[in-house]
């Protein structure tokens, strides 16, 4: 998995065992390790910075409380992302809101997710072009149905494999591949439609 780019998860079961023995520091290590990929995912799903932080925090709290149910034969990351995915589904169901309004204008104000760019060498024009493409991409992503958007984010932003996504969603790999294909083609269509 790129960037999100998680480090090896081989020591996760050890950290979980330490947590279950009452070592809270071990859970802090887990939070520090997964906060970036978790927030990358959640922020793209809820599109409001404060809400993304609240949701991610709640996901970590739920994961902590559910640690006894974690089985070390599974990847910790997929277990954690399943909790996040289920939480988001419940959250939207209860609040009866969609991930984002289809017509909501995209802006770069404080309320939106602040996306940091560190490319000082790029020329101003190139930077503007990149920014424009990013904005268009974010806008197109927001128009995807939630179940496709989630897979698109996992695949292209979190860099997950099809197998990992299939494990999280408890779906066959073929189904996941097919849905990611749909998401990508829908994204392309939406981007082409944009003025």
Partner 1 sequence: MSCPSVDRLYDDLDGALTGAEKEAVERHLQSCESCRRARAVRGRIAGAAADLPPFEVPPDFAAGVMAGIAALPVPAAKKLHPGLVWTAAAAAAAGAGIGLGMILAGAGTAAWLSRIGPAFGAQLRNAAAFAAKGGKLLFLGGKIILGVSRGVLEFLRSTAEILGPDGRAVLIGGTLVILISGGVFLRRRLPVSERTHEK
For 172, half-sphere exposure in the C-beta direction (CA atoms, 13 angstrom radius) is: 3
Q: Is 81 in the site for partner 1 (CB under 8 A)?
A: no
Q: Is 71 in the site for partner 1 (CB under 8 A)?
A: no
Structure tokens at 145: 């149905």
Q: Which residues contact 72 (CB under 8 A, 6 or more apart)?
A: 13, 16
Per-residue x/- track, 156-175, partner 1 (CB under 8 A): xx-x----------------
CB of 43 vs partner 1, minimal distance in Å: 4
User: Which token pair is 169?
Assistant: 């969603």
What's the closest the beta carbon of residue 75 comes to partner 1, in angstroms? 19
> Is the separation of the CB atoms in 84 and 41 below 8 Å?
yes
| Whole-number Å distance between alpha carbons of 59 and 36 | 13
Interactions with partner 1, residue window 175-194 (CB under 8 A): 181, 184-185, 187-188, 191
Run of H or E residues at 102: none
Binding site for partner 1 (CB under 8 A): 2-4, 19-20, 22, 24, 27-28, 31-32, 35-36, 39-40, 43, 52-53, 56-57, 60-61, 64-69, 113-118, 130, 133-134, 137-138, 141, 152, 156-157, 159, 181, 184-185, 187-188, 191
């Amino acid at each position: 998995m790129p960037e999100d780019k998680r480090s090896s998860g081989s020591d996760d079961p050890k950290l979980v065992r330490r947590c279950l023995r009452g070592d809270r520091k071990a859970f802090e290590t887990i939070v520090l390790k997964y906060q970036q990929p978790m927030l990358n995912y959640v922020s793209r799903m809820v599109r409001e910075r404060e809400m993304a932080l609240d949701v991610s925090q709640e996901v970590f709290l739920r994961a902590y409380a559910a640690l006894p149910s974690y089985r070390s034969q599974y990847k910790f990351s997929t277990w954690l992302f399943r909790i996040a995915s289920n939480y988001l589904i419940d959250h939207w169901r209860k609040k009866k809101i969609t991930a984002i309004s289809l017509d909501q204008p995209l802006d770069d104000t404080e309320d939106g997710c602040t996306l940091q760019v560190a490319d000082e060498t790029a020329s101003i024009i190139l930077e503007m072009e990149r920014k424009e493409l990013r904005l268009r991409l974010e806008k197109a992503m927001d128009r995807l149905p939630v179940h496709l958007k989630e897979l698109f984010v996992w695949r292209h932003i979190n860099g997950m494999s099809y197998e990992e996504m299939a494990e999280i969603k408890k779906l066959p790999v073929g189904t996941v591949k097919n849905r990611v294909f749909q998401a990508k083609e829908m994204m392309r269509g939406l981007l082409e439609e944009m003025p």
